A and B are shown apart, each in its own frame.
Chain A
Amino acid sequence: MTLPTPSQTVGPFFHIGLPYEGGPHLVEPDAAGAIRVGGRVFDGEGEPVNDAVIEIWQANGAGRYDHPEDTREELPLDEGFRGFGRCETSPDGSYEFVTVKPGQVPAPDGGLQAPHIEVSVLARGVLKRIATRIYFPDEQEANEADPVLALVEDQERRSTLVARKEDGALRFDIHLQGGGETVFFDV
């Protein structure tokens, strides 16, 4: 077995290579069921992180991943919906995706996971990908039963993984460090 090549930071100049047109739009803003999910990224001193790139990965509205290992062919795929998005942060540390709410996907215990979006944060000063998940505020019952959320014992910390409704969008701030630090995962 060979260990993976070590991770290194994207540095401050990733804008040359990573952003692409339409990266933050998993669906068109006027598409049926389109939602806006975004927020701001902050460092340990509460300063906005203006040189981060956020990536998301998610199932479609039916809970199907556009990937060969999701073999549940009884669930439809959506033409043109890959489930991947990429958005660099603005000078005020903000990012925003336009996507659809994912359906539920299987959990290892035979049940279902609550709807969620996988998130990677890459930035200057971040030596390896920081991973988190976005859960939905209108899914209280599913969230209560979600096996990954259940791993976060502290209720207040768990709440950092649930977006909140704000101005018709879903707001998910990411605090890399310090008070209110977002729950991050070792993937």
Chain B
Amino acid sequence: MPPELTKNGLVVPYRRESADPPYLWPDYVATRTRAPKRPLITLPHTLSEVTGPVYGHERVGELDHDLTQQHEGEPLGERIILHGRVLDGDDRPVRNTLMELWQANAAGRYRHEVDVHPAPIDPNFEGAGRCVTDDEGRYRFITVKPGAYPWKNHPNAWRAAHIHLSLFGPAFATRLVTQMYFPGDPLFYQDPIFNSVREGRDRERMISRFDLTETVPEWALAYHFDIVLRGRETTPVEDS
């Protein structure tokens, strides 16, 4: 048994259990030509996988978490506070980790050249934000509720309203990009991206909950969304 873990390359691996969708989910047409088809090689967790980008705060400005204050005027739409915690698989806070967010505006239009569907651009809404979690793993964004929007995956296809979230966590192994949905969306049943997650209880974990306690009277509604990153095994793994 080597005396020092890192020096000898033994590290404590991250758990591999996941609720992730498969790469190939034919209902989401774009996966058909982009999903790897050869079997994946299971990558042992080495120092390269248990380390990852640790961000300084310099990239995050004071107002980066507030998508309603990035322009001269306020964006149109239903103002919301989106907040929650980032936790590992053992309910421990993931501190000081960068979260990046992007979304459509209240009319369901992205400020992006590829989105040309006939809904208005909001000159006061960019749709991007970032923040860093605090010591309890908490985060908080102020934004507007994004609209649903049509896409060309199948006839009359509409994406359920969602907000894109990107997180790093402490390691290459904990990288996560997901989408957060809103409770009671009538479009869930026909959205193949949402339904690519196979278990209903796992899809539920992508849906925020309305949070009356965090609303600000006369000003904003609030939604709560906790994000869980991969947890860690308790002992280092021997070379197998």
Could you tell me which A residues sit within 8 Å of B by CB distance?
1-18, 20, 43-45, 47, 49, 51, 55, 57, 59, 65-72, 82-84, 105-111, 113, 116, 118, 120, 122-131, 147-148, 151-152, 157, 176-178, 181-187
Task: Using A6-B197, A18-B102, A66-B54 as known contacts, say yes or no to A181 and B37 having CB atoms under 8 A apart.
Answer: yes
Q: Quick check: A3 and B114 within 8 Å, CB to CB?
A: no
**Interface flag for B17 (CB, 8 Å):** yes
Distance in angstroms between the alpha carbons of A13 and B109 in the assembled complex = 10
Task: Using A2-B91, A7-B178, A106-B6 as known contacts, say yes or no to A125 and B33 having CB atoms under 8 A apart.
Answer: yes
| A interface, over-half SS | loop
Distance in angstroms between the alpha carbons of A57 and B23 in the assembled complex = 22
Chain B residue total in the interface (Cβ 8 A): 90
Q: Quick check: A57 and B51 within 8 Å, CB to CB?
A: yes
List 29 A–B pairs whose Cβ atoms lie within 8 Å, in order of A's numbering.
A1-B89, A2-B89, A5-B176, A6-B18, A6-B202, A8-B178, A12-B115, A13-B164, A14-B164, A16-B110, A18-B166, A44-B35, A44-B37, A45-B33, A69-B11, A70-B6, A106-B8, A108-B238, A111-B9, A118-B172, A125-B33, A125-B35, A126-B31, A127-B31, A128-B23, A148-B44, A176-B35, A182-B36, A184-B41
Ranked nearest first, the 10 interchain pairs of A and B with the lowest CB-CB distance are A17-B102, A125-B30, A106-B9, A84-B53, A67-B51, A185-B43, A125-B34, A8-B179, A186-B40, A65-B51
Q: A8-B164, A12-B115, A69-B51 are in contact. List 15 more A-B contacts (CB 8 A).
A: A6-B19, A8-B21, A8-B196, A9-B193, A13-B104, A17-B127, A17-B130, A69-B50, A70-B6, A72-B7, A106-B9, A118-B48, A126-B34, A151-B42, A184-B38
User: Which of B74-82, B211-219, B225-233 faces chain A?
Assistant: B225-233
Q: Quick check: B36 and A16 within 8 Å, CB to CB?
A: no
Task: Using A111-B9, A128-B23, A184-B41 as known contacts, say yes or no to A11 and B239 having CB atoms under 8 A apart.
Answer: no
Q: Quick check: B43 and A131 within 8 Å, CB to CB?
A: yes
Residue numbers in A under 8 Å from B59 (CB-CB): 20
Q: Quick check: B230 and A4 within 8 Å, CB to CB?
A: yes
Could you tell me which B residues sit within 8 Å of A by CB distance?
2, 6-11, 15-23, 25, 28-38, 40-54, 59, 87, 89-91, 100-104, 110-112, 114-115, 126-130, 162, 164, 166, 170, 172-173, 175-179, 193-194, 196-197, 202-203, 205-206, 227-231, 237-239
